[in-house]
Structures are given as C-alpha cells and as structure tokens.
Amino acid sequence: MPKILIEDWSLIPFREAWSKQEQYVREIQQGLRPSTLILCEHPAVLTIGREGGEQNVKVDSSMLAMQGIDVIPINRGGDITAHNPGQLIGYPLFNLSEFREDLHWFLRSIEDIIMQVLAEYGIASGRLEGKTGVWIQEERKICAIGMHCSRWVTSHGFALNVNNDLSIFDMIIPCGIPDKEVTSMKSELQQTINMEDLKEKCRKAYSEYF
C-alpha cells in the first residue's frame, strides 16, 4: 500500500488550514507529496458546503460578529456545520488513484475508522441511511464528514465532536437536518477525553486501514 504522512497542525484558524490544504493538494497532484492526513482543531467558525445555504443559520450576523464567528462557504460536499476547540478535525488529503478511485468507498472508509476509534472508548456508533457521518442510535450525530475531490485527490474531511462546547450548534440547523441532535464523546461518556490519546488512536487506525 502507498505510504501516508500524518501531520498535527494543532489549533489553527480555518482559513489558514484551508489554504494549506489547497497547497498540499496541488503538491499531491504533482507527485511531490504522498497522501497526507492532517489532524487539527479550529477556533469557532461555521462552514457551509455545496449543498447548504445561510438559511440554516438561526442567528443574525451581528450576533455572530460579536462572538468573532465567521460564516465561510466552502467547496466540500454537505450542508452547514460548526467547528470549535475541543473538536477533532481530520483532513485526509489522499490520492485515491493510489488506493481506489471511488469517493463513496472513501467516505464509508472514513466512517469505518471513526466507528472503530469510538468503539475503543466503549461508544457504539453507526450510520444513518442516506446520510453521511457517524451517529449514535441513529438520533445523535457525533461526527460530520464532507469531502471535495479534484483529479482524484481529496480534501476537507471529518469533524469529530470530542470535548467541544456543543452550544455552537444551537446557532444552526446542523447539516440541514432539523430533527436530529448533535452529541460528543464527552457527552456520551460524561468525562473529558484526552485529545492526544485520541489523536494517537486515529493515527494508528488510519495507518492500519490504509
């Protein structure tokens, strides 16, 4: 199997991370860099994918501005979601031509890895028919996934709620789904998760899977 690199960008503003992703994608497309998994966290921000719109923002722009929260339309699939510290972001920038030229397979693979990592913490999770992401009892979304793919190189990725403040999701209709809840590992286990331990489990899972 091809070699993958794994980098930790720690807490990084979303726009900066997006710009670095685009640079890495160009390098991967040119054969200058192997497939790379980025792990990081973002300051509070709302992002809207290609299937979304600002109609799913429930508060006015002045309230968001007071809290320093930007609303950023981006080129991934999916609708609106929120990022904030304590949420683990994973950006798998992979050349699918070296693995399998099938974006649906890749999305399911990311779900498989997240479910495997959650199981290590005793959290049973699964899929919701017709929806991308990882769910608890088909009612509570714990991990959102949205990808972009250009010339078979992927960008964007997953957002796993770990210790983050979930009240940010009250500002939106998460993923444009009004009748489902959002949860986190901390909420499910009633204890704070060690983020470095979690990152190590993700690194191990990705390395073994790919």
143 is catalytic: no
**Residue 19: how many other CB atoms lie within 10 Å:** 11
Dist. CA 127–CA 63, nearest whole Å: 34
Dist. CA 26–CA 32, nearest whole Å: 9
**Residue 32: how many other CB atoms lie within 10 Å:** 9
Radius of gyration of the chain (CA): 16
Name the amino acid, one letter, at 51. E
Sequential DSSP letters for 146-183 = EEEEETTEEEEEEEEESS--GGGGGGB-GGG-TT-EE-
Active-site residue, from 40, 143, 149, 175: 175
Residue with tokens 């190590």: 200
Q: What are the catalytic residues?
A: 175
